[in-house]
Chain A
Amino acid sequence: MNKKVRFFAEQLLIVLNIFIAFLVLFADKLVLPYWLQPVGRMHPFLLHFPIVLLILAMIFELFRFSYGSDATSPYRQYAEGFLLGGALLSGITVIMGLFLSREEGYEGDTLVLHKWTGVAIFYIASLIYMVSKKQWYKAPAAWLCAFVMVSALIMTGHYGATLSHGEDFILQPIIANIKAPVVPIEKAIVFEHVIQPILDKKCTGCHNTNKLKGQLALTDSLSMLKGGKSGKLFVPGNPDLSLMLERVHLSPEEKKHMPPAGKPQLTQEEIDLLALWIKDDADFHKKVTDLEAGDSLRLMATAVLKPEDEGTEKFDFSAADEKTIAKLNTFYRTIAPIAIESPGLDVNIYNRSAYSVKQLEEMSDIKKQVVALNLNKMPVKDEDLKSVSQFENLRRLDLNFTDITDKALDALIPLKHLHTLSLSGTKITYSGLKQKIAAFKNLKTISLWNTGIASTDIAALKQGNKEITFIEGFRDDGKDSLKLNPPQVKNAVMVFDQDLAVQLRHPIKGVQIRYTTDGTEPDSIHSPVFDGNTVINKNTTVKAKAFKAGWYSSDVATFDFLKNSFIPDSVQLLFPLNDVHQAEGAHTFFNKKLGVIGANNPAWANYWAGARSKDMVLVSLFNKPITLKSVGLHYMLEENTGIYPPALVEVWGGENEKQAKLLLTIKPSPPAKGGKPSLKIVEGSFQPHSVSYLKIIAKPHKQKKDEHLLLVDEMFLN
């Protein structure tokens, strides 16, 4: 070989070594300009040359120490020439391959293997070329190199072929024959396409007409009906009594367990399928679609027959212009591809007041691409659907609670891909649908809830169109009576000063509220019906109950309305409150905010003023004297957590502090052990007395060392 050429080629090899190392190292960051892509695409063409050259070189290497011991012999010249040429070409092929790998559609484990074995070939070839002149490079080394090189070539070639032709390309014709062809669900027969494949996979290896283990063949219906040595295989309709399942269900250690230990076992799904098929009378001819829509066997069979992974549906139309899509996207019309790189578009239209048929008409530029359209709750009219019919590739259309009628269906018939149609809450009728449903060739699911189509009519539709799933939904047949929830009170505050119009309500339409004010439980006959005209002028406990036909009456709701006639002009507490029960301090007692039971509630944490070690002593002053007749305290009682009534309440009143007299003393009894938590009032009245100065003392309960908590949220001065 010309020395100059050789020197140049060797230099080139070094360059390639570095370049490829670099490319491989940063392969993820490689961004290929479009004009370099053709270079990458030459990879499948060029790769054949290095393969041939390197194989030749390796053959030469094998016999090099027999024929080419002289470094200048033509044998060595050729050998080195082939090797160098092969190494260089493999390098270029690797670069092209790396370029090609950056294009779409190349990924996965095979690619990784192909890439690394390919890169390895290049470096092995370079290495052999460089070390072959070394002293220690002898026959065994040469053979080893040749072996490694040829193995790498075979592996790389195989992975490469897998990439371009797909897995099992060579054996495909044979495998394809074995694999059951995919059957469309409408044509599938339960036994032939679901049950038989299970038997073929797990049973007929032994139970076939040639081997006949246990004198049983499971290869065809006749042999199956005949059974084997131990008797009939199954009892149609009764899987539990069927020998086949009995054997399957035996514990795997049992000798008679089938399939025998060591053989591939039936999966739970397969066992279920066999059981369901037998339960369904072991019919050999029944189609999958002959079964009821919700039938377990049908559901499971459908799942089995469905192709493994559909992935993103491939459409036969091209994508719409991105700018057009962006332009058509508005706040009230969202248009988005169903997935990255899918031409199909999903369109949602929202906001009733913004809807007009123009929103549909405007989409004529993307009429091919729209595959799903949601118009739920829009005021869509029958004639608007003419604009929907332009979307020739529409798969799914939602028209729930639109204003359409039977007429609208005509416009949808031409949509030959339509498989899902939602018509719930529309004026579609049975007669309209019955006539036209057959024209929808591809329809799989239709929702008809809340349309006024009777259950019996939907049953008839189901009967006539077995390939379609009809969704009927919930219908209140009045059989399932529920208990009403109790009435609610609408008054914002429950504390009033003079009189108060009681406001009760119930969220459910047509409910009658009956109530009492005397503490008795309201009933549906004697108690007055609440009509909004109830006015109270004193502390009143209203008990109310809700009634409605078709419902159980509610629990009794109890509302305490509390009267407080006077609000002091200034208030002051003589002792500090308990640290954690401050509420609003002295103002707590006349802020009309009532606390509740239940420590998780803010009204528990924030509305109760508490006293424990010190007495609760409130001094109130009035600018103008009031005539006071009674005083009351609203407190909480929770015996088990130690929240007690006051031990003693004293009320002192007069013109001023000095002239104040003891007006009232109450000693509430301590609570009963284990009583339920409740809210109570301690109240007492006295001779009307003119008061400008008022002192209310409430002492917490003390039993020996136990100090109990007193919680008060409001006081009532009347």
Chain B
Amino acid sequence: MDKEILEHGFSWNRRRFLSTMGMGVGSLALGSLLMPDLFSNGGIEEGLTPGIPHFAPKAKRVIYLFQNGAPSQQELFDYKPKLREMNGKEMPPSVRGNQRLTGMTANQAHFPLVGSFVDFKQYGNSRAWISDLLPYTAKIADELCIIKSMYTEAINHDPALTFLQTGSQQGNRPSMGAWLSYGLGNENKNLPAFTVLLSRGVGNGQGVYSKLWSNGFLDSIHQGVQFSKGEDPVLYLRDQEGMDRKARRDMLDNIAELNELSYQEFGDPEIAAKVKQYEMAYRMQTAVPEVMDLSKEPDDIVKLYGPECLVPGTFAANCLLARKLSENGVRFVQLYHQGWDQHGNLPFEIAKQAKDVDQASAALVTDLKQRGLLDETLVIWGGEFGRTSYTQGTLEKDNYGRDHHPRCFSIWMAGGGVKPGIVYGETDELGYNIIKDPVHVHDFQATVLNQLGLDHKKLIFKHLGRRYRLTDISGEVVKGIIS
């Protein structure tokens, strides 16, 4: 019997095979009619028009006050009285676990815990603990969402900074600002969507490189534009002596014609990008002086931001400028303030660093608020990782240092639809591990994008056969901090 069944199975003749298969192939053909892209190679990701938010945004703009070098959370926001109690005692190995250390402390025989030299007090409705080093920040506690449970994967400055800014520890990916420029476009077509401002404090500094505001594989119009402190805030923007607007216009028109010819011949999209940049630069020639003009600022502003705000190149001046750029529709203003890398001499250096940034950071939030802009502007303050609860080197009576610590660090956000007056996340009593609501760098990035009306899983660019996101392949919006 089995043999017959088997033979029956084989007894398909050619005609039957072909007619059945023919119908099968026909049905495939029919199906493929409905799939125009089945055999094409992809290209620009369809579905989402770049330039428009995926859903109604809470924030339209971001100002990121990056504290480069990794400010010590134990001296600023993460109050750990237990560390003072245990000052000088050895860090329990069980807490550290198998955490890798930097080359700077890996060979240390002892890891004495060190309590903060500075006192903390509670502020605002959330009774947030804020250090005495930040008196102005403390005054705006009710506007702040302090996250004490940030963590990252990198342990050294450059990879950590690159990771936070681009979602990858190696350079070459677009920076957060470039992604926003790509996802949301320019609000003000006379200014770049992404600008960068640099300043440095007296503390031990770490490098900041232009790769951090790179457009990566995105169009070069999304690259961050650095504003510098000199006579010319944007380099090469000023016309040479003797060149009037008309001559400049004619020149640009002629170059554009040549570029158009070149574009028709080669079809390189970067040529079109270049033309756009020239045109933008032309409009920036009038827009930038209007933004930089401080003469119309009310006198109170100087008291608010502190006197340094009128000294170009200082953090305070950059905060004021950030507000002016943001107010003028710049999507992403990225500040970097160097000098927070206190491996040694921490008490002295961090006090000065904090003094440099405290008043102006708080002023920026207040200033945005009083203009009714805080609800649509997201302000972020923080570094690339945290610092250790134990001292680097030997613990002296009133001097110590702290090494890099990726397992937890504190940042704050304000405005932009983030819950005001809350403290999110917790670390253990030695401030070494997170015990509640951890926020990974990708979670943070997903949340920032979310506030701007972008779904981080849909903000995609296809490059070299792979779909790239700022959050790579992970990240969850932190629901607990958004209102």
Residue ranges of A at the interface with B (Cβ–Cβ < 8 Å): 11, 14-16, 18-19, 22-23, 26, 29-33, 36, 135, 294-296, 299, 303, 306, 311-313, 331-332, 334, 336-340, 342, 344, 346, 348, 350-353, 376-377, 398, 400-401, 420-422, 424-425, 445-447, 449-450, 471-476, 480, 482-485, 488, 507-509, 551, 600
Contacts and interface: CB of A to CB of B under 8 A. Distances in A.
A340 B290 contact: no
A480 B303 contact: yes
B299 A509 contact: yes
Contact of A32 (B28, B34, B290, B420): B34
Contacts of B363: 474
B109 interface: no
A473 B35 contact: no
Interface of B: 1, 5, 19-20, 23-24, 26-28, 30-32, 34-38, 48-49, 51-57, 60, 125-126, 142, 185-190, 200, 205, 283, 286-287, 290, 296, 298-300, 302-304, 306-308, 310-311, 327-329, 363, 366-367, 369-373, 375, 419-421, 453, 483
A471 B366 CA distance: 10
Contact of B329 (A18, A29, A306, A348): A348
B56 A334 contact: no
A340 B27 contact: no
Given A339-B56, A348-B329, A425-B298, A11 B23 contact: yes
A450 B296 CA distance: 13
Given A334-B186, A334-B188, A488-B311, A400 B371 contact: yes
A450 B370 contact: yes
Task: Tell which of A135, A303, A447 has the most Cβ of chain B within 10 Å.
Answer: A447
A342 B57 CA distance: 12
10 contacts: A14-B20, A15-B26, A26-B38, A36-B34, A299-B125, A299-B420, A299-B421, A311-B56, A348-B188, A473-B367
Contacts of B367: 473-474
A36 B34 CA distance: 10
Tell me if A's interface is mostly helix, strand, loop or mixed. loop
B27 A18 contact: yes
Contact of A337 (B20, B26, B52): B52
A474 B34 CA distance: 62
Given A18-B28, A334-B187, A312 B55 contact: yes
A480 B307 CA distance: 13
B56 A600 contact: no
B371 A422 contact: yes
A352 B290 contact: yes
Given A334-B189, A348-B188, A450 B372 contact: no
B30 to A, nearest CB: 7
Nearest to B374: A471
Nearest to B453: A339
Contact of B30 (A19, A135, A312): A19
Contact of B27 (A15, A449, A507): A15
Contact of B303 (A306, A450, A482): A482
Nearest to B189: A331
Contacts of B290: 351-352
Given A336-B51, A340-B49, A450 B307 contact: no
Given A334-B187, A424-B371, A472-B370, 15 more contacts: A15-B27, A26-B31, A29-B37, A31-B35, A31-B36, A31-B37, A313-B56, A350-B188, A445-B372, A450-B370, A473-B370, A474-B304, A482-B303, A485-B308, A507-B311
Which 3 pairs of residues, A with B, have the shortest CB-CB distance? A473-B370, A507-B310, A422-B372
A135 B327 CA distance: 80
A19 B28 contact: yes
A338 B56 contact: yes
Contact of B372 (A299, A471, A551): A471
A475 B298 CA distance: 11
Given A339-B52, A350-B329, A376-B327, A449 B31 contact: no
B370 A449 contact: yes
Contact of A476 (B19, B185, B299, B310): B299
Contact of A340 (B24, B52, B296, B483): B52
A398 B372 CA distance: 8
A447 B28 contact: no
B287 A23 contact: no
Max chain A C-beta neighbours (<10 A), residue from B23, B286, B420: B23
Nearest to B127: A296
A439 to B, nearest CB: 20
A351 B56 contact: no
B480 to A, nearest CB: 10
Nearest to B5: A135
B129 to A, nearest CB: 16
A107 to B, nearest CB: 12
Nearest to A329: B189
Contacts of B32: 22
B27 A350 contact: no
Nearest to A475: B300
A299 B55 CA distance: 25
Contacts of B142: 294
Given A19-B27, A22-B27, A312 B56 contact: yes
Nearest to B301: A474
A484 B57 CA distance: 41
Contact of B52 (A33, A336, A509): A336
A29 B35 CA distance: 6
A296 to B, nearest CB: 4
Tell which of B20, B286, B372 has the most Cβ of chain A within 10 Å.
B372
Contact of B1 (A16, A135, A445): A135
Given A30-B34, A474-B304, A480-B303, A339 B57 contact: yes
B44 to A, nearest CB: 15
Contacts of B24: 14-15, 18
B57 A31 contact: no
Contacts of A334: 186-189, 329
Contacts of A29: 35, 37-38
Nearest to A398: B372
B307 A473 contact: no
B283 A30 contact: no
Contacts of B296: 401
Contact of A508 (B20, B60, B185, B302): B302
Contact of B56 (A26, A342, A482, A509): A342
A515 B367 CA distance: 35
Contacts of B420: 299
A7 to B, nearest CB: 11
Contact of B370 (A295, A339, A398, A471): A471
Contacts of B28: 18-19, 22
A485 B56 contact: no
B239 to A, nearest CB: 17
A352 B421 CA distance: 36
Contacts of B370: 424, 447, 449-450, 471-474
B31 A339 contact: no
Of A306, A339, A474, most buried by chain B (CB within 10 Å of CB) is A474
Nearest to A298: B125
Nearest to B327: A376
Most buried by A among B23, B142, B190, B370: B370
Nearest to A422: B372
Contacts of B453: 338-339
Given A11-B23, A19-B28, A334-B187, A339 B37 contact: no
A12 B111 CA distance: 76
Nearest to A276: B125
A334 B188 CA distance: 7
Contacts of A485: 307-308, 311
A420 B58 CA distance: 14
Given A339-B56, A348-B187, A353-B286, A471 B369 contact: yes
A440 B169 CA distance: 52
A599 to B, nearest CB: 11
A663 B445 CA distance: 70
A31 B31 CA distance: 10
Contacts of B372: 398, 400, 420-422, 424, 445-447, 471
